[in-house]
Structure 1
Amino acid sequence: MQHASIYIASTEPQSGTMIIAIGFMEMLKGRYTNVAFFRPVIPDRKEDETHIGFMREHFGLKIPYEACYGFTESEVIQAFADDREETFFEELMAKVDKLHREYDFVMMDGYPRNRFASTFDFDINLKIAKNLGTAFIPVINAWKKNSDEIINEIQIITEAIKTESCGELATFVNRCDEDCMETLLQEVENSGKEKQVYILPEVKEVDTPTLRQIVKTLDAKMILGEEEQLNHLVRSTKIVAMGVENYLKRIADEDLIIVPADRNDIILASLTSYAAKNHPNIVGMILSGGIEPSNTIIDLIKDFSTSAPIPIFTIHSDSYETAIAVAEVRAKISPEDTDKITLVKALFDKYVDKERIAQKFRQSQNNVMTPLMFQYSLFEQARSLRKRILLPESDDERILKATAILLQRDIVDIILLGEEESIHHRAAQLRVDISKAQIMEPAKSGLIEKFSRQFQTLRASKGLTLNAAKDAMEHRNYFATMMLYNGMADGMVSGATHTTADTIRPALQIIKTKPGISIVSSIFFMLLDTKVLVYGDCAVNLDPNAEQLAHIAISSADTAAQFGIEPRVAMLSYSTGDSGSGPDVEKVREATRIAQKMRPDMLIEGPIQYDAAIDMKVARKKLPNSKVAGRATVFIFPDLNTGNNTYKAVQRSTGAIAIGPILQGLKLPVNDLSRGCLVDDIVNTVAITAVQAQHLERS
């Protein structure tokens, strides 16, 4: 899933991700017309969230505040505690997907990992970035670290990103001591890798709070001063309790002075120092104790110039309490901090090769597809052109639960077969809402006679009598298949309580196969950690011959394409290329030749071993010139024994999710469930059936 997006995240607190975000946003605004800013997670208190407000105001982003975030910190923790991880990611993907439809580029800003350290044993930013399919940009805090420590952190985060199969765009090392920058740059260069690492120095001005930030945090009242003076940096804070002579010896430029309001001597001495040529200029005074200077003193201060040379504030707390509160203020960048913002942009311009980053982004192709991403795209695709799916087995509670989910989430329309009163009674017992489902009672439908005559006509060449046809219509799967045949539904799913034969036999007799396809077959979608593979045939055909195997390959490739998987077909055998012989290999070789002739537009390779099909290192040795080897997405097994055992081995050994079997080759979509299926299996299969119906309509 390739999106025009990046994800910036720190590896520890105080890394300065805002600096990197400002640099990237200015870069993006110069290249894209409409850029969105998004934070997947924000603090619980809205007043603690400063990044969104800054980006919207400073860069003039035309995006509502509510569209700029996913969930609060506590909502995320609660979702994982309640085992609603999939729901969390699905809703997050929906929010970001909406942004991708409305904006040219989405820049994402991660949440400090340390805030989740006591809850999760994984990096939630990496997990989010992987499932959103976005390029990842880690920011490392280099403050007070030597070059060896920093290099180790770069290696650790690189391995973590690689383990999660995220696409790393570049690594930023921020707040680096200038004394070790040259050594660090040399070590990075000597690593010999094309990895982009950008090192930014520690700039004290960026990490220094402004007077505005301090007085806003303290809720101090300005009694003298100008708005512009609030942008000045506060280098140090001093409490004054001594006499004027000692006070003047200890103050320095850009000091913030905290003094009791009745110390007129200190106030006047500070103004005198400001006016003198060779004495320090303090940045401001906070008068503690909730007392304001007299009008006489204020008039005297105003006489120094047309405006107060030093801004003066009052606060109710005493000097000690005020000093503690000031010490707790952490430097932030606000839209009013024009000097800081200019400095940050200059830093990014000086130390970052923006064109090189842009080039890498253009060249990068993120092929990651997580199970959550696949399921999300599956449901979205099903919703895009809503279909009516028929479920004959309404007496099974799993079917009713799945129906409620499908209807509640507006994925498809559902038709249930059965006695209406009994279905509603059972749904009420299960406490599920199926009120939007259409219920069809075959015995009261008035369709049995019509369907029987149609079926008898379809099977007349096989000697089927009308009575036998009527008997068949007593079977729900036959009745349901006739409904599908007559256009009363777009697809059908059965098998929760019936055998595979009970599902497929009516379809073969009534629906029949597509033109040019001689065999009904099946595939499984194998949802691995970062990719989705297609396995066929693992459920239906025992030992297909070469021609049948070729048709299975073509059907499987077409099915893969319907679900956004680029089909690169591997015809599997125990031998690769021309290295082996024997009847089993020759069958696969002949099947490959037939399939390639049938569909010259497809990438089909065979015979090929599984390792050569999936592993690029093996592929380079065994089939170096193949466009399929090492990157196959569709795996065609030579027989049912091999396919069934392989899909179960992969499923159980890797924790992969297997969705299927999905039937293919029929004129209309019919799919089979296993009798041990879960509710989620039914939901997925119904959605897949709907997508198949969409493609049949378009073809």
Structure 2
Amino acid sequence: MTRSVYVTGIDRGDGRQVVELGVMELLTRQVDRVGVFRPLVHDGPDRLFELLRARYRLTQDPATVYGMDYREASTLQAEQGTDELVSTLVDRFHLVARDYDVVLVLGTDFAATQLPDELALNARLANEFAASVLPVVGGRGESAEAVRAETRNAYRAYDGLGCDVLAMVVNRVDPKDRAEIAERLDSRLPVPCYVLPDEPALSAPTVAQITHALGGKVLLGDDSGLARDALGFVFGGAMLPNFLAALTPGCLVVTPGDRADLVIGSLAAHSAGTPPIAGILLTLDEKPTDEVLTLAARLAPGTPVVSVAGNSFPTAEALFALEGKLNAATPRKAETALGLFERHVDTADLLKRVSAPSSDRLTPMMFEHQLLEQARSDRRRVVLPEGTEERVLHAAEVLLRRGVCDLTLLGPVDQIRKKAADLGIDISATQIIDPQTSPLRDPFAEKYAELRAHKGVTVELAYDVVADVNYFGTLMVEEGLADGMVSGAVHSTAATIRPAFEIIKTKPESRIVSSVFFMCLADKVLVYGDCAVNPDPDAEQLCDIAISSAATAEQFGVEPRIAMLSYSTGTSGSGADVDKVREATGLVRARRGDLRIEGPIQYDAAVEPSVAATKLPESEVAGQASVLIFPDLNTGNNTYKAVQRSAGAIAVGPVLQGLRKPVNDLSRGALVQDIVNTVAITAIQSQTPDQKAARQ
């Protein structure tokens, strides 16, 4: 039977979209096929469903998502009664449930619905859907005692109506009251109660949303600038020195369009990072001169300057009435919401309570979810040497908002802060170090000179070398100031990994450094090695690559079944290349008799059961291999790229293995999500027992 979770509330304004998004994230970690059903919907676009569809790549037909609109429901209930309304909605729910393993049900929103006893209707629908209920109580502007009383009453209401209440969620409470409310409710309710503090960035409208709502015209700014959250409003009227003192981080400056001094002064402050602002809103339909706009664009590239027709008072009224919304156009808000949910909800316990069926399939999205969750479970610090690179800063924002790991950015401090301000990215929780001026430069130079003394490296020469961001970052890892390093978005592979070869070096049991790619296919994840480092490994090196790749696979939840690939399967062929693979297979069996391995074997016999049944019917690996070891770099690199492009697979990597401490290389074409995944992988690599011991 399909498992369903019904997220509902007791009144409007509870911000439950955070919970709905968080539950969807939770379900998609566990289950491949998750459906969405909203029994009743208002006219107009459903922003939350559009966000879910974009973020989780839902293929569900939007027409099946909705039961009916509120007007139709009100009419049906008035003319034919509640039983007929419920019966119709149940029928439409089951049209979705039959096609999915789990359904997330989005309850009514208590907003001008004209439905009597809306709470009771949600409870009855949940019961008829055989769905467990997750009620959300809003706490904004309420005292701690009022929130506790309302939450207890909400639990009693849904429980008294026969609902299977999974847990209670209290949202938008005053941060200073969160711990007390959580403690008091935990002792008063028979189910867990998760308490989420109010997060200003979630209710703050973006500059783009403000522009749309006020009918504004964008004079300057790019998409990244328009996506910034307006965390407050500062209205310009004072003289410039007093006005600058009133600016706050993330504020939107509102000023008449003829105040060029305030426009330039605000942007100059933003450029200096004191403080970074969201943008500027010009009133009275007055626009600065072209000369002023040109200077503004040079001072703060990308920062939005928007003009509106109204004067300051009606503009202020409209601004204070706006509230930010989660939707497909605000992915940064989604990351903030998920980070908030994951910090304050025991997701493992909640998922256990949901009892969602585990999928035998491992989709790319499920694998990515697992990476972030595993990294978050034992938080580490990763150093990113390319601190001024835009993609790295965007990835850092995602990692910080989701609480995946702690970060250190390397590069000129002022330059990094200015770049982040221009992108509207908050990096206040990030450590920033400039290798050129850091006090660590001297001890790092001494350390490097000591390590490379056999190559004639002096302290004076080392002083120049360690100012390079990749050498500096590698030394941070070696000295335990960071747990891993990720670079390569703008540096070559050699520039990224050469310092690791010189400073960190290989594990005692590893003869070489090698790499794997996680190839995320539609329904499973395969591990390919080595596709990036060793051009023509001999049998001993192939053996080492296979053993290291099996260990990497196991660390990331892929059960290792090793296929040593060749152009021949079993004993059907001969030649130097086949013999090398056969010898490597024998070496693996001698060193690690516990590993399941087959070789030499062709790719089709390794992964396709029907071919394996003909060529190697007795093999426990053939047809179900998960770790595929290529005989040389030429074969491996071309194969992974062919599968990536032709089969639409997501390639995560290369992930370096064999080093004493984790350092990983990015492709120079890496996307933001690629960087996020690689940083998570690096953090996970540092969670092994030997890495923990080295850290201590």
Query: Normalising to structure 2: TM-score of the pair?
Result: 0.55
SS of corresponding position for 2:394: helix
One-letter identity of the residue aligned with 1:106: V
SS of corresponding position for 1:443: coil
SS of corresponding position for 1:442: coil
One-letter identity of the residue aligned with 1:52: A
SS of corresponding position for 1:432: coil
Q: Aligned equivalents of 1:83 and 1:406: distance in 2?
A: 13
**Structure-2 change in CA distance of 1:478 and 1:607 (3 Å):** same
SS of corresponding position for 2:547: helix
Q: Aligned equivalents of 1:17 and 1:689: distance in 2?
A: 47
User: Does the 8 A contact of 2:166 with 2:354 survive in 1?
Assistant: no
One-letter identity of the residue aligned with 2:105: V
Listed one character per residue, the Cα deviations across residues 203-230 of structure 1 (whole Å, up to 9, x for unaligned) are xxxxxxxxxxxxxxxxxxxxxxxxxxxx
Q: Aligned equivalents of 2:433 and 2:643: distance in 1?
A: 40
2:557 aligns with: 564
2:452 aligns with: 459
Q: Aligned equivalents of 2:440 and 2:332: distance in 1?
A: 44
Q: Aligned equivalents of 2:341 and 2:568: distance in 1?
A: 42
Q: Aligned equivalents of 1:464 and 1:88: distance in 2?
A: 47
**Structure-2 change in CA distance of 1:9 and 1:397 (3 Å):** closer
1:688 aligns with: 681
Q: Cα offset for 1:526?
A: 0.8
User: Does the 8 A contact of 2:34 with 2:104 survive in 1?
Assistant: no
Q: Aligned equivalents of 1:93 and 1:664: distance in 2?
A: 33
Q: Cα offset for 1:443?
A: 2.5
**Structure-2 change in CA distance of 1:577 and 1:400 (3 Å):** same
**Structure-2 change in CA distance of 1:469 and 1:100 (3 Å):** closer
Q: How does 1:482-631 map to 2 (within 5 A)?
A: 482-631=475-624
**Structure-2 change in CA distance of 1:612 and 1:90 (3 Å):** farther
One-letter identity of the residue aligned with 1:697: Q
Q: Cα offset for 1:464?
A: 2.8
Q: Aligned equivalents of 2:419 and 2:36: distance in 1?
A: 49
Q: Cα offset for 1:685?
A: 0.7
User: Does the 8 A contact of 2:30 with 2:366 survive in 1?
Assistant: no
User: Does the 8 A contact of 2:527 with 2:549 survive in 1?
Assistant: yes
1:41 to 80, 92, 105: 105
Bigger shift: residues 8-17 or 534-543:
8-17
Q: Aligned equivalents of 2:355 and 2:126: distance in 1?
A: 11
**Structure-2 change in CA distance of 1:601 and 1:94 (3 Å):** farther
Bigger shift: residues 50-59 or 457-466:
50-59
1:51 to 125, 129, 136: 125
**Structure-2 change in CA distance of 1:611 and 1:98 (3 Å):** farther
Q: How does 1:366-385 map to 2 (within 5 A)?
A: 366-385=359-378
**Structure-2 change in CA distance of 1:438 and 1:82 (3 Å):** closer
Q: Cα offset for 1:617?
A: 1.0
**Structure-2 change in CA distance of 1:628 and 1:59 (3 Å):** farther
Q: Cα offset for 1:600?
A: 1.4
SS of corresponding position for 1:429: helix
SS of corresponding position for 1:400: helix
2:439 to 446, 464, 478: 446
2:418 to 408, 422, 425: 425
One-letter identity of the residue aligned with 1:690: A
Q: Cα offset for 1:61?
A: 3.0
Q: How does 1:217-256 map to 2 (within 5 A)?
A: none
2:388 to 366, 382, 395: 395
Listed one character per residue, the Cα deviations across residues 88-137 of structure 1 (whole Å, up to 9, x for unaligned) are 99899979x956524755367xxxxxxxxxxxxxxxxxxxxxxxxx37xx
C-alpha RMSD of the superposition: 3.9
Q: Cα offset for 1:634?
A: 0.8
**Structure-2 change in CA distance of 1:9 and 1:460 (3 Å):** closer
1:697 aligns with: 691
1:106 to 322, 343, 354: 354
2:16 aligns with: none
Q: Unaligned 5+ residue runs, structure 2?
A: 1-27, 38-59, 68-86, 111-117, 133-158, 171-190, 192-324
One-letter identity of the residue aligned with 1:397: E
1:413 to 406, 412, 420: 406
**Structure-2 change in CA distance of 1:424 and 1:462 (3 Å):** same
User: Does the 8 A contact of 1:568 with 1:633 survive in 2?
Assistant: yes
SS of corresponding position for 2:622: coil
Q: Cα offset for 1:645?
A: 0.6
Listed one character per residue, the Cα deviations across residues 420-462 of structure 1 (whole Å, up to 9, x for unaligned) are 1111111111111111110112232222222222212212223
User: Does the 8 A contact of 1:79 with 1:88 survive in 2?
Assistant: no
2:661 to 661, 668, 678: 668
**Structure-2 change in CA distance of 1:549 and 1:45 (3 Å):** same
Q: Aligned equivalents of 1:601 and 1:504: distance in 2?
A: 31
**Structure-2 change in CA distance of 1:5 and 1:664 (3 Å):** closer
- Answer yes or no: is 1:653 the counterpart of 2:646: yes
SS of corresponding position for 1:544: coil
Q: Aligned equivalents of 2:446 and 2:541: distance in 1?
A: 32
Q: Aligned equivalents of 2:621 and 2:480: distance in 1?
A: 39
Bigger shift: residues 655-664 or 451-460:
451-460
One-letter identity of the residue aligned with 2:406: D
Bigger shift: residues 400-409 or 660-669:
400-409
2:464 aligns with: 471
**Structure-2 change in CA distance of 1:598 and 1:607 (3 Å):** same
One-letter identity of the residue aligned with 2:393: L
User: Does the 8 A contact of 1:541 with 1:639 survive in 2?
Assistant: yes
Q: Cα offset for 1:579?
A: 1.0
**Structure-2 change in CA distance of 1:398 and 1:59 (3 Å):** same
SS of corresponding position for 2:579: helix
One-letter identity of the residue aligned with 1:63: L
Q: Aligned equivalents of 1:524 and 1:652: distance in 2?
A: 14
Q: Cα offset for 1:5?
A: 12
Q: Aligned equivalents of 1:488 and 1:44: distance in 2?
A: 50
User: Does the 8 A contact of 2:529 with 2:629 survive in 1?
Assistant: yes
Identity of aligned residues (%): 51
1:61 aligns with: 164
Q: Aligned equivalents of 1:439 and 1:64: distance in 2?
A: 40
Q: Cα offset for 1:603?
A: 1.1
Q: Cα offset for 1:478?
A: 1.2
**Structure-2 change in CA distance of 1:576 and 1:94 (3 Å):** farther
User: Does the 8 A contact of 1:534 with 1:633 survive in 2?
Assistant: yes
User: Does the 8 A contact of 1:40 with 1:92 survive in 2?
Assistant: no
Q: Aligned equivalents of 1:691 and 1:91: distance in 2?
A: 18
Q: Aligned equivalents of 1:92 and 1:606: distance in 2?
A: 48
1:636 aligns with: 629
Q: Aligned equivalents of 1:84 and 1:41: distance in 2?
A: 24
Q: Cα offset for 1:463?
A: 3.1
Q: Aligned equivalents of 1:371 and 1:637: distance in 2?
A: 22
Q: Aligned equivalents of 1:421 and 1:8: distance in 2?
A: 47
SS of corresponding position for 1:587: helix
Q: Aligned equivalents of 1:8 and 1:399: distance in 2?
A: 33
Listed one character per residue, the Cα deviations across residues 139-171 of structure 1 (whole Å, up to 9, x for unaligned) are xxxxxxxxxxxxxxxxxxxxxxxxxxxxxxxxx
**Structure-2 change in CA distance of 1:89 and 1:622 (3 Å):** farther
**Structure-2 change in CA distance of 1:7 and 1:678 (3 Å):** closer
Q: Aligned equivalents of 2:399 and 2:510: distance in 1?
A: 31
Q: Aligned equivalents of 1:512 and 1:528: distance in 2?
A: 33
Q: Cα offset for 1:85?
A: 14
User: Does the 8 A contact of 2:36 with 2:103 survive in 1?
Assistant: no
Larger radius of gyration: 1
Q: Aligned equivalents of 2:488 and 2:92: distance in 1?
A: 57
